[in-house]
Amino acid sequence: MTKDNDKKPLDNNANRAKKNEQREVARKRGERQYSKKTDHL
């Protein structure tokens, strides 16, 4: 059970890290699209 509990947070952290990397890449590739989205936020 400890292995499963350890695996879930690691997977979540990995998914968040991947999303953050994808966001940075998307910003570098097309800042205009992301700037519009950030303006709405």
Listed residue (40, 38, 12, 8) closest to 23, CA to CA? 38
pTM value is: 0.45
* pLDDT value at residue 24: 87
Token representation of residue 41 = 């936020």
Sequence-ordered list of residues with C-beta below 8 angstroms from that of 33, at least 6 positions apart, any chain: 26
* pLDDT value at residue 2: 61
Listed residue (37, 11, 14, 16) closest to 26, CA to CA? 37
Written as tens digits, the pLDDT of the chain (41 aa) is: 566 666 677 788 888 999 999 888 887 887 666 555 655 55
